[in-house]
């Protein structure tokens, strides 16, 4: 709870920070940069190669397309080398500047389905197949802060 209160305080300070024209003493020293979405993935024993192959083919194709369209800035895969019980085996990281409107979200999804030559039913079935060897443990959405210089 203490962490949530601290995060709320920082977010409030950023939301109400004075514009750049204000004096330095009236400005919060940090400002927001890109958003970062982190997805924790647990891989079942024996599923590492299959999941890595899917990431290197299908997921990479989607993510490269999203970068080429300007929808995201970049993406990364991080491995948890010394993971403890219950921790993700890897994290999928996506960086982007802003959220799209509901209409834009739907348009992007249609465009991605056309690009990947898949319909919603196919994508859902493929996701279900991946559930046999990987589990999404959860997502975290964070905002990088930078110095206000």
pLDDT in tens, 97-145: 999 999 999 999 999 999 999 999 999 999 999 999 999 999 999 999 9
Mean pLDDT (the chain) is: 89
Distances (CA, A) of 88 to 45, 47, 50: 13, 14, 17
Cβ atoms of residues 43 and 51 within 8 Å = yes
The side-by-side arrangement of strands in the sheet containing 90-96 is 74-79, 90-96, 30-43, 134-147
Confidence (pTM): 0.81
């Amino acid at each position: 709870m203490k962490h949530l209160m601290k995060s709320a305080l920082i977010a409030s300070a950023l939301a109400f920070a004075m514009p750049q024209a204000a004096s330095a003493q009236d400005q919060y020293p940090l400002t927001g940069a890109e958003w970062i979405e982190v997805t924790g993935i647990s891989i079942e024993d024996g599923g590492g190669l299959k999941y890595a192959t899917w990431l290197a083919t299908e997921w990479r194709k989607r993510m490269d397309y999203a970068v080429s369209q300007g929808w995201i800035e970049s993406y990364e895969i991080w491995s948890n080398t010394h993971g403890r019980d219950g921790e993700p085996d890897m994290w999928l990281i996506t960086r982007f500047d802003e959220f799209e409107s509901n209409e834009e979200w739907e348009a992007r999804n249609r465009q991605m389905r056309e690009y990947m030559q898949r319909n919603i039913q196919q994508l859902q079935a493929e996701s279900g197949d991946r559930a046999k060897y990987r589990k999404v443990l959860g997502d975290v959405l964070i905002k990088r802060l930078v110095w206000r210089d």
